[in-house]
Structure 1
Amino acid sequence: MKKKNLGLNTVCTHTGEVKDTQFKGAVSPIYLSSSYAFEDIDEKRYPRYFNTPNQQALCKKVAALEHTEDALIFGSGMAAISTSLLAFLHKGDHIVLQNALYGGTMNLVLEEFDKYGIEYTFTESLDIKDFKKAIQKNTKVIYIETPSNPLLKVTDIRKVAKLAKKHKLITMIDNTFASPVNQLPATLGIDIIIHSATKYFGGHSDILAGAVAASAEHINHIFQLAKNLGGSLSDFTVWMLERSMKTMGIRVKAQNKNALKLANYLEKHEAVSKVYYPGLKSHEDYELAKSQMAGFGGMMSFELKDEYNVSKFFKSLKLIKPSMSLAGVESTVLSPTQTSHALLTPEERKKQGIADGLIRFSVGIEDKKDIIADLNQAIKKAKKK
């Protein structure tokens, strides 16, 4: 079989395995050594150089899933984001970023870029005209995130890629919410794809990691900085991540299915004022999402009406967990104003459309009827008297 013709679940299961040549085990052996020989060998290995056996094997899996030449694995999603950005941006350079971004990414830009003399512009909207308007003579990078966190806004990937190529700019995308199961930015013209691998890659709420996929040239450029910043991942966690990714295709597709059903259910619920999910026909970006995504993902957000207490709703849940992260097999909810976007000011959150009562919902793989039952009993208890 040709590797490029392998199906999604086959790539998840087999690509990037470390072969157990000694005992012929069915799973990858784990190499925990932090010190390797340097004489009479083809490659000098060192964990901080991202080239231990387990690191290199996992990078092959990520690259295969994202349809790129190469990849790097990092200690966190923010390590992947910051290293990628700083590898291509230097003093006097300018970057265009979409206005709807993960709070950690926005905080990185607002708190650190001025120190490095890096200029930046956030677009006024996700319309391609605003991206074009934001480009300056010293612009080097365009950075997008789609679907966005936490309002699931969708950016036109093809148009952004076309605009960037016209101006000879590097494009980067945070593909975390979609995962390569649902969206392949490289096939749409994007140069560098970034993930918080903590989320759908890990999928079990027990791994902290990041990933970057791109051409061999771009990955080598990022590596030159990465080896100095030291954001590599321990080999035990690399091994756990490779194990977890074997089921990513199955997990994510199950979450897609559940999320679409739950979004439709919540949209009709008398206690809910608004649902944000790109798979809803009422979503303003539905047609765009359908054109660039294979599935709509397991993430959504919704707002309860004013007569319901959000804090009491969280405390009344029995199955769904109020929890900080997302994309695990278990369903979780959180308040973006208290967690993912807490670093932003109220004014910055308001500008993004993030209300204090917004609930971000990461849909798991539980039976739909059980998730609905838990939502309903918690909503009922959250009604103000």
Structure 2
Amino acid sequence: MSDDRTRFETLAVHGGEPRPAAGGSVVHPIYQGTVFETAPGSSHGDVRYIRMGTNPSQRHLHDRLASLEGAETAVATASGMAALTTALHSVMAAGDHLIAAGTFYGGPARFLDEHAARLGWTVDTADPSDPATWSEALRPNTKIILTESITNPLIRVGDLAGIARFARRHGLVSVVDNTLATPVVFRPHEVGFDLVCHSATKALNGHSDIAAGAVTGSHPLIARVESALSHYGGSLDPHAGFLLSRGLKTLALRVRAQCANARALAEFLDGHERIAHVSYPGLPGHPDHGRAAALFDGFGSMLSFRPAGGVTAAEALVKSLRLPYAASSLGGVESLVTLPAAGGHSSPAEAEGIEEDLVRFSAGIEAAEDLVADFGRALEP
């Protein structure tokens, strides 16, 4: 099901699925085996082995992921961090330079802070909305420009198409973390990104019950990712892959509901006297609203805001809410709320632009009216 006319909802159910499946089942089976027969004279690429990601269940999931992102191929990993770090390792070598365009979630930020120098990599940061900073950061040994489709937790949208063009013009590999947007909202390969990474633990799976990651891209680039992944051993277990594939079938329904909930809550909070600031690209006053409207199909399921009254008010609000769980993940069917400065980001909050009173909200699929009512009650004096 790869016809360009096929709608995303249909791709989510049927994309990458073999028909007929083994034994006529409409659900692809779990091949839990680690070892498979290999005919004499076969090449290394014909070997089916679980660490290499070539178990039949793993290959099935790769086809599904590639279909959703509109990529030539894909590989699944044991976590989102495994996806991103393996993608970087597949391109970077000692002596290479990377441009990090954005304020990143704590995992990637800590990885670059703590390991880049030891690996012989140099890193410069840049503003994803300001092309002049990309040029200033560019060096003769630059190999990658890395960004996020929606930044976490500040909820900004950079000049994504511009970053992809910049990378192509200078012979760089463009890498984007598309976890917050998901392919329902944005498909980075369509604007020219080379590698797209996901923490599939989040919205792709959508049920807060597995850890997984994904990298999509061209055959040559993903072959390099697969090689690095095999050496580092970060392949995804077939049973977790089965749960992820099952979650993908409802991805469009879940994410569209989450986006609608996030927008409803953002609009409610934006006009509330006890809220000082709301960051959600679906709001006309958001600095990236026009860019998001042009690039995205929807505005995402995440928003951040700052209550009037500082960190004391923020902590009291989180404690008073009844529906969202106070937890640091995102993308599940349940709404989650957290204070990012209290954990999950590596650098001091002030240096990251993450104030102590910043609240991050990940919308679930509850009724929007109930979420708004819960926040309205919690914000009462």
Is TM > 0.5 for Structure 1 vs Structure 2? yes
Quote the Cα distance in structure 2 between the aligned partners of 1:22 and 1:97.
44
| Residue deviations 1:153-189 (CA, integer Å, cap 9, x gap) | 1111111111111111110000111000000111101
Matched, 1:202 2:205: yes
1:334 to 333, 338, 341: 338
User: Residues 248, 53 of structure 1: CA spacing in aligned structure 2 closer, same or farther, 3 A cutoff?
Assistant: same
In structure 2, the residue matched to 1:367 is 367
Quote the Cα distance in structure 1 between the aligned partners of 2:96 and 2:22.
51
Shift, 1:20, TM fit: 6.6
Quote the Cα distance in structure 2 between the aligned partners of 1:69 and 1:357.
43
2:285 to 282, 286, 299: 282
Shift, 1:110, TM fit: 0.7
Match of 2:221, as an amino acid?
H
* TM-score computed with the length of structure 2 as normaliser: 0.95
Quote the Cα distance in structure 2 between the aligned partners of 1:367 and 1:226.
40
Unaligned 5+ segments in structure 2 are none
In structure 1, the residue matched to 2:246 is 243
Shift, 1:102, TM fit: 1.2
Quote the Cα distance in structure 1 between the aligned partners of 2:127 and 2:61.
38
* TM-score computed with the length of structure 1 as normaliser: 0.94
| Residue deviations 1:52-83 (CA, integer Å, cap 9, x gap) | 11111111111111111000000000000101
Over 6 Å off, 4+ runs? none
In structure 2, the residue matched to 1:60 is 63
Any conservation in 2 of the 1:18–1:53 contact (CA below 8 Å)?
A: no
Match of 2:158, as an amino acid?
T
Any conservation in 2 of the 1:94–1:141 contact (CA below 8 Å)?
A: yes
Aligned residue-pair number: 377
Match of 1:226, as an amino acid?
L
Matches within 5 A, 1:30-41: 30-39=30-39
Unaligned 5+ segments in structure 1 are none
Any conservation in 1 of the 2:102–2:151 contact (CA below 8 Å)?
A: no
Shift, 1:124, TM fit: 4.9
Matched, 1:211 2:252: no
Q: Once superposed, what is the RMSD of the aligned Cα atoms? A: 1.6
1:152 to 150, 155, 160: 155
Quote the Cα distance in structure 1 between the aligned partners of 2:375 and 2:48.
50
User: Residues 321, 21 of structure 1: CA spacing in aligned structure 2 closer, same or farther, 3 A cutoff?
Assistant: closer
Match of 2:320, as an amino acid?
S
Return 301-310 or 249-258, whichever deviates more.
301-310
Matched residue SS, 2:239:
helix
| Residue deviations 1:124-168 (CA, integer Å, cap 9, x gap) | 563111111110111111111121000111111111111111111
Matched residue SS, 2:201:
coil
Quote the Cα distance in structure 1 between the aligned partners of 2:125 and 2:330.
26
Matches within 5 A, 1:69-218: 69-124=72-127, 126-218=129-221
Matches within 5 A, 1:224-243: 224-243=227-246
Matched residue SS, 1:27:
coil
In structure 1, the residue matched to 2:313 is 309
Match of 2:315, as an amino acid?
S
